[in-house]
Chains A and B, each alone.
Chain A
Amino acid sequence: MSAGVVLLFLAAALRISVPYALASIGSCFSERGGVVCIALEGILLTSALGYTLGAYATGNAYAGLLAALAAGIATAWLHAEVTVRFRADQITSGLGINLLAAGLTRFGLVRVFHSSSNSPRVEGFADLPLGPLAHLPVLGSLIASPLVLLLLVLLPLSHALLFRTAFGLRLRATGERPEAGATLGLSVTRIRFAGVLLCGAFASLGGAWLASEQHSFTDGMTGGRGYIALAAMIVGKWDPLGAAAACLLFGAAEALQIVLQGSAFPSELLQALPYAVTMLVLAGFIGRAVAPKAVGVPYDPEQA
């Protein structure tokens, strides 16, 4: 590979991992609080449509971002309502919400844009004026994007929020031993809601990124990215920093697949790499991924 191809590969890898990282960091909050977030895919999808509708109506990317947040957080709220308030099975709820999101967004496409496949072109984000920084190779054009800059700021902050603040401690406590938290007077319901809604907010940024980069919404455009983000969260051991690193790895695998397309190398098998890595990590072949103890278990104070 020449230097040019390597640079192209790096740029593609970074760009691909942006939405994964946003969603993946978000899922750390939900899961650390004890709520499995398979709904990630659905949140990405609704927020991508939200962005498109907002940007279409106003012609402004930031209005699109707000609409994405509203749609994504509403979707996460539904997941929280079903799993935390009604204490229903979290995995089934996530799958149901993903199905709901697929149906609703297609319904929205048909109703608003009279097409079952795609929306018209909408505005994306304009690059930020970064001066000399914008001329950095590979990174320059990437960090000039407002959502990438936001990701770079939010990444260390989210790690700190989870591991260095009272809120983070409480969130992790409700994910490990909710009854212990409740004994100390914490509201497990409220804390778990906060975790799921935070997850929704982060994932919405990912949805906004997807729609703004593509300048449109297309049916099923998330294409399983929510599940990859979830897998990255596991490989990253329920830590935002680890999750982001895993997203970079997965993004690199995807970029390599693009570079190798058309060559003799079976690029479809590279497609399977993130999934295979996740399975190896889960089985304990590469490090050990230990989930929060109470993740997936509804908290019922009447039975505690």
Chain B
Amino acid sequence: MTAERRTQLLVASSPVLAVLAALAAGAAVIAAIGEDPLAIYTLLFRQAFGTGYGLGQTLFRATPLIFGGLSVALAFRAGLFNIGGEGQMLLGGLAAALVGAYAPLPALALLPAALLAAAAAGGAWGAIPGMLKARFGAHEVINTIMLNFIALSLVGWLGHRLFETATVRTREIAAGAVLPRLGAWLPALRSAPVNASLLIALLIAAALAALLFRTRLGYELRAVGLNAPGAEYGGISIGRTQALAMTLAGAVAGLGGVNFVLGYKHYFELGFTGGAGFMGIAVALLGRNSPLGVIIAALFFGALAYGGLVVNQRVPRELIEVLEALVILFAISARPLLERVARRWA
């Protein structure tokens, strides 16, 4: 094995090592509060994957994480950090809910229109930092954080007009805009809330894989991400490519809003994202910005989210949040560490 190959292997294993390290740290905390870590983890993952209903819950929670993770991964491939998934998903969900509830469209056109609205709202919210970056060189990290807050204020303001009396939710969508639950076709999933949004997420993942690795635009995107000056020298416009990448990333995150709005509750509710747009960063990080990796990482975090609820009786659910954070911190520390170790060996 050459030294280079060894480095690659070590670095490739860093997400797995990070997860193991975080689970070990979590085990120490679980033991410290007087519970059996092995029993807790067994319970957690058995509940998350072992029953049809549990699997359906895990998949339901993984769905917006796939959208969020793909959004971050796509932007990252173009050298951009999209922290705006939360705001993009929020506005995407709102747009879908409004079209689903108010658009005077025939039933057949309603669902496509609601999906398009979600992608368009998220895409517009992603385009702003993308264009500010392209035109003025303004840093997208700060701008996307700012836009998350602006999206919240916007929803707060619109909410006065839109929300049902004494609630923080919009009117229910028409039947034609509903994304069906998978339990309708797969009885094993029973009444779990996982719905057709999952299929859309998988389709988008496949489409993004094709876009990134099989098209000219994908090539340009990756070229800008890997070496912007080099790409520009080769005739690729950095600004145009990055603005486009942020718009697409926003659209993907925006679509993530439909899982709750069109597939689960059938209305928009304040705080429905539950941090999924934000957790997309962890998902992309762990999935190493590849569409398949994102799906696997989203399943892991989805299982943690649902399993954490199940074990709440014995260990506080907050511990799961700590675990998620530790996975992030270990994952980003492991890579530079392993690279250094590999360099020593070489």
Interface residues of A (CB under 8 A from B): 36, 38, 78, 82, 86-89, 91-93, 95-97, 99-100, 102-104, 106-107, 110-111, 116, 224, 227, 230-231, 234, 266, 268-269, 271-272, 275-276, 278-279, 282-284, 291, 298, 302
Decide if B332 touches A99 in the complex (CB within 8 Å): no
Decide if A107 touches B322 in the complex (CB within 8 Å): yes
Contact sample, A vs B, 8 pairs, CB 8 Å cutoff: A86-B337, A88-B329, A89-B332, A96-B328, A97-B329, A103-B324, A106-B318, A231-B142
The CA of A155 and the CA of B252, in the complex, are separated in Å by 44
Count of A-B contacts with CB under 8 A? 127
Decide if B343 touches A99 in the complex (CB within 8 Å): no
Q: How far is the CB of A112 from chain B (nearest CB, A)?
A: 12
Contacts of A97 in B (CB 8 A): 325, 329
Interface flags, B131-145, vs A, CB<8A=1, else 0: 010011011011101
The CA of A88 and the CA of B141, in the complex, are separated in Å by 16
Please tell me which stretch of B1-9, B148-156, B257-265 contacts chain A, meaning at least 4 of its Cβ atoms lie within 8 angstroms of it.
B148-156
* A279 partner, pick from B138, B316, B328, beta carbons under 8 A: B138
* Interface size band for B: 35 or more
* B136 partner, pick from A96, A269, A284, beta carbons under 8 A: A284
A95-B281, A96-B329, A269-B153 given. 6 additional CB < 8 A pairs?
A95-B83, A99-B325, A103-B318, A104-B322, A224-B149, A284-B138
10 A-B pairs closest in CB distance: A103-B321, A100-B325, A96-B328, A88-B332, A268-B157, A272-B153, A275-B146, A103-B322, A99-B325, A107-B318
In the complex, whether B335 has a CB less than 8 A from a CB of chain A is yes
Given contacts A95-B83, A231-B142, A291-B139, contact A272 B325 (CB under 8 A): no
The CA of A150 and the CA of B320, in the complex, are separated in Å by 38
Given contacts A99-B325, A269-B157, contact A88 B333 (CB under 8 A): yes
Decide if B132 touches A279 in the complex (CB within 8 Å): yes
In the complex, whether B203 has a CB less than 8 A from a CB of chain A is no
Decide if B81 touches A282 in the complex (CB within 8 Å): no
Decide if B157 touches A82 in the complex (CB within 8 Å): no
In the complex, whether B326 has a CB less than 8 A from a CB of chain A is yes
Contacts of B192 in A (CB 8 A): none
In the complex, whether B33 has a CB less than 8 A from a CB of chain A is yes
The CA of A171 and the CA of B83, in the complex, are separated in Å by 28
Contacts of B320 in A (CB 8 A): 103
Given contacts A88-B333, A102-B321, A279-B132, contact A302 B139 (CB under 8 A): no
Q: How far is the CB of B12 from chain A (nearest CB, A)?
A: 17
Q: How far is the CB of B28 from chain A (nearest CB, A)?
A: 14
* B329 partner, pick from A100, A102, A116, A291, beta carbons under 8 A: A100
Given contacts A82-B332, A82-B333, A276-B150, contact A100 B322 (CB under 8 A): yes
In the complex, whether B60 has a CB less than 8 A from a CB of chain A is no
In the complex, whether B210 has a CB less than 8 A from a CB of chain A is no
Q: How far is the CB of B343 from chain A (nearest CB, A)?
A: 7
Decide if B324 touches A99 in the complex (CB within 8 Å): yes
Among B160, B285, B333, the one with the most A-chain Cβ atoms within 10 Å of its Cβ is B333
Among A91, A96, A97, A100, the one with the most B-chain Cβ atoms within 10 Å of its Cβ is A96
Decide if A91 touches B81 in the complex (CB within 8 Å): yes
Contacts of B285 in A (CB 8 A): 92
Among A82, A87, A89, A272, the one with the most B-chain Cβ atoms within 10 Å of its Cβ is A272
In the complex, whether B125 has a CB less than 8 A from a CB of chain A is no
In the complex, whether B278 has a CB less than 8 A from a CB of chain A is yes
In chain B, positions 129-187 with a C-beta closer than 8 Å to chain A are 132, 135-136, 138-139, 141-143, 145-147, 149-150, 153-154, 156-157, 160
Decide if A282 touches B329 in the complex (CB within 8 Å): no
Decide if B149 touches A107 in the complex (CB within 8 Å): no
**Can you name the residue of chain B whose Cβ is closest to the Cβ of A272?**
B153
Contacts of B132 in A (CB 8 A): 279, 282-283
Contacts of B282 in A (CB 8 A): 96, 99
Given contacts A86-B336, A266-B157, A284-B138, contact A95 B328 (CB under 8 A): yes
Contacts of A87 in B (CB 8 A): 336
In the complex, whether B319 has a CB less than 8 A from a CB of chain A is yes
Contacts of A82 in B (CB 8 A): 329, 332-333
Decide if A96 touches B318 in the complex (CB within 8 Å): no
In chain B, positions 280-339 with a C-beta closer than 8 Å to chain A are 281-282, 285, 316, 318-322, 324-326, 328-329, 332-333, 335-337
Given contacts A107-B318, A275-B150, contact A92 B142 (CB under 8 A): no
**Can you name the residue of chain A whose Cβ is closest to the Cβ of B81?**
A91
The CA of A104 and the CA of B29, in the complex, are separated in Å by 11
Q: How far is the CB of A38 from chain B (nearest CB, A)?
A: 8
Contacts of A231 in B (CB 8 A): 142, 145-146
Decide if A278 touches B146 in the complex (CB within 8 Å): yes
Decide if A86 touches B333 in the complex (CB within 8 Å): yes
Contacts of A284 in B (CB 8 A): 136, 138
The CA of A106 and the CA of B281, in the complex, are separated in Å by 22
Among A86, A95, A231, the one with the most B-chain Cβ atoms within 10 Å of its Cβ is A95
Given contacts A107-B316, A278-B146, contact A91 B141 (CB under 8 A): yes
Decide if A282 touches B138 in the complex (CB within 8 Å): yes
**Can you name the residue of chain A whose Cβ is closest to the Cβ of B129?**
A279
**Can you name the residue of chain B whose Cβ is closest to the Cβ of A103?**
B321
Decide if B143 touches A279 in the complex (CB within 8 Å): yes
Contacts of A36 in B (CB 8 A): 141
